[in-house]
């Protein structure tokens, strides 16, 4: 028996309030095939724009690489064999999306990212993240994506023929809307903390192991901080090189016997 979705209460986010603002560049452009019958297709340039918009929404601009393209899905969409919803589902369950977004995040961060990209809004609360994280843990990536795309919220807002978009970025009494989701980092602090740490000298703020950045050179401080065992070895090697060079020069300058 599948575990039911944990209940969570929607908060009063901007997209849940009736819009009265004047249309501007802050309003999202909607890419859809809703106005077409089953026997018609979008012009090639418009379909290409819709596909690019879908990639931008799911992968974001930082991940829009040629290697991440799903050419089979694109061909099926252009020939109307699949819907826009199916195309979004294919992108979100692709190996590229899994590698770039799922494998570098914990479940909570990945849920937050998918709610932003597929439902076009922020998560309501930590309880919503927990709710969808349970789905992700029990059904896996494909089951989680399917539940999001077949949710009442997704179908009511975008349907099966519209590319998801960030809803209602415009905020009252502000000249600009909130930060677009595509400008946010794709991974959280837990992944960042797994990256190799700099050396202890760099942590201490020293660029060369002796003086901190922008610190004025001081000879007594240099004498105190210097590693004289290393300095002695370097001086010995330098002196040996000088002796060898002088010997070679003297041998070359002496007349032949």
CATH code of the domain covering residue 102: 1.10.3130.20
Residues with Cβ < 8 Å from 178, sequence gap 6 or more? 14, 169, 171
Same domain, 80 and 139: yes
**Residue 71 is assigned to a structural domain of this protein:** yes
Q: Quick: pLDDT tens for 150-174.
A: 999 999 999 999 999 988 665 544 4
pLDDT for residue 7: 74
**Residue 164 is assigned to a structural domain of this protein:** yes
pTM score, two decimals?
0.63
Same domain, 171 and 213: no
What range does the domain containing 223 cover?
205-253
The winner for highest mean pLDDT among 32-41, 112-121, 180-189, 207-216 is 112-121
Same domain, 141 and 116: yes
**Residue 1 is assigned to a structural domain of this protein:** no
**Residue 200 is assigned to a structural domain of this protein:** no
Same domain, 110 and 164: yes
Same domain, 177 and 222: no
- At residue 63's C-alpha, the angle toward residues 132 and 33, to 5°, is 75
Q: End of a domain among 192, 213, 245?
A: 192
Residues with Cβ < 8 Å from 55, sequence gap 6 or more? 64, 68, 69, 91
Number of domains in the chain: 2
Same domain, 106 and 231: no
**Residue 125 is assigned to a structural domain of this protein:** yes
> Residue 24 above 60 pLDDT?
no
Same domain, 51 and 167: yes
Report the alpha-carbon distance of residue 43 to residue 30 in Å, rounded.
Answer: 16
**Residue 3 is assigned to a structural domain of this protein:** no
């Amino acid at each position: 028996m599948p575990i039911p979705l944990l209940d969570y209460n929607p908060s009063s986010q901007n997209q849940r309030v009736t819009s009265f603002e004047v249309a501007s560049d802050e309003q999202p452009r909607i890419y859809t095939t809703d106005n077409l019958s089953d026997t018609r297709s979008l012009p090639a340039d418009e379909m290409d724009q819709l596909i690019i918009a879908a990639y931008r929404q799911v992968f974001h601009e930082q991940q829009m690489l040629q290697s991440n393209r799903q050419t089979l899905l694109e061909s099926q969409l252009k020939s109307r064999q699949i819907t826009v919803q199916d195309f979004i589902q294919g992108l979100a369950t692709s190996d590229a999306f899994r590698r770039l977004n799922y494998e570098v995040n914990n479940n909570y961060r990945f849920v937050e990212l998918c709610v932003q990209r597929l439902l076009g809004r922020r998560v309501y609360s930590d309880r919503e993240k927990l709710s969808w994280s349970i789905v992700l843990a029990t059904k896996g990536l494909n089951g989680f994506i399917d539940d999001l795309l077949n949710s009442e919220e997704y179908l009511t807002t975008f349907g099966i023929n519209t590319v998801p978009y960030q809803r209602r970025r415009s905020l009252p009494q502000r000249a600009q809307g909130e930060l677009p989701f595509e400008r946010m980092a794709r991974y959280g602090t837990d992944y960042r903390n797994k990256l190799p740490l700099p050396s202890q000298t760099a942590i201490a703020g020293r660029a060369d192991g002796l003086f901190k950045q922008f610190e004025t050179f001081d000879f007594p401080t240099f004498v105190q901080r210097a590693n004289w065992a290393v300095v002695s070895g370097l001086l010995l090697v330098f002196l040996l090189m000088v002796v060898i060079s002088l010997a070679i020069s003297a041998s070359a300058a002496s007349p032949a016997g």
